[in-house]
Amino acid sequence: MNRRQALLATGGTLMLPSLARAAWPEREITVLVAYGAGGSTDVCTRAVAAEAEKILNVPVQIVNRTGGQGTSAPAQAATSRPDGYTLATAGMAALAIMPHVLDLSYTLDSFSYLPGYARYLYGIAVPADSPFRTMAELIDAGKQRRLTFAAAGAPQNIGMFELNARLRTRFGFVPFPGGAEAVTAAIGKHVDFVVQNPPEMLPALQSGRLRLLASASDVRWKEFPDVGTLREQGIDLAVDSVLGLVGPKDIPSERVELLSRAFLQAAQAPAVADTLHRFGMIPAPVAAADFERMQRTAFAEFGPHLRAAGLARR
């Protein structure tokens, strides 16, 4: 039995040295990142890649493929040669939401799924002098009249659509090309509130230009430990999105298994956790099968919300 066979036979209990000596991969692996260089998705993926290449003993190269609201990278990966050398970042927006909205070249069945590694955080904030001091006040007002919110897109807007459906609020979505623009709109009072990630919101929150009403995720923000989540405030909702990796369909199963073990191990490295926390994300090591299951479940759940909001293609 060679070392690679031993690795597979023991369920991955042989750690870094065994993976490093495996017969495959023989050359660098490319990870297509769906967003621009320097953003949270890019930086956090680079941190995972740096750990994974120590395990795989080959370089893991990052190539940014922006556009299409996060769909360009998985679209390219889906049509790549299924040899395991080209992967892409993908999250709930690209896999579970945008296929309902855009006419894409891929479906959920176009991929080999690899692990998830990071969870995005979201928050709901109002301008500093807003009359709404709590989420309860914001929701009560939203039941009486139309209030507008800024966001860069999914899944933040989907969470607010779900609130509308559950609580009969009248929150209207005003889209912006990026989180920074959405935050600026809230600061300038062009909208009533904003739903975004920590990296875009923290400077305005910490300078007093915005006020955080709730974490829209399942955990509180470490920078604002006294601000509760929506669920802690009696609203049974969390805006959730786990970032993971996909490759083209039909990558040989033994390669998928080896890559999955390597990236799952990499996602648990302390250096990765440090980077994620600095960029407003939290570690989420999720096995490949669970990551795929999450996307398929979310795809089925989001369809009715998008159709009700008039955003679905059909």
User: How do residues 115-141 score in pLDDT, each as one tens digit?
Assistant: 999 998 999 999 999 999 999 999 999
- DSSP structure string for 208-252: TSEEEEEESSSS--TT-TTSPBTGGGT-------EEEEEEETT--
CATH no. for 123-233? 3.40.190.10
CATH no. for 3-120+240-308? 3.40.190.150
Out of 10-24, 216-230, 250-264, least confident range: 10-24
- pLDDT confidence tier of residue 308, bands split at 50, 70 and 90: confident
Out of 60-74, 77-91, 254-268, least confident range: 60-74
In angstroms, the CA 192 to CA 211 distance is 12
Measure Cα distances from 9 to 23, 63, 68 in Å: 15, 34, 41
User: Which pTM does this prediction carry?
Assistant: 0.81
Asked if the model's pLDDT at residue 52 lies above 90, the reply is yes
Sequence ranges of the domains in the chain: 3-120+240-308, 123-233
Question: Token pair for residue 12?
Answer: 């991955």
The yes-or-no answer to whether 3-120+240-308 and 123-233 have a common fold is yes
In angstroms, the CA 13 to CA 8 distance is 9
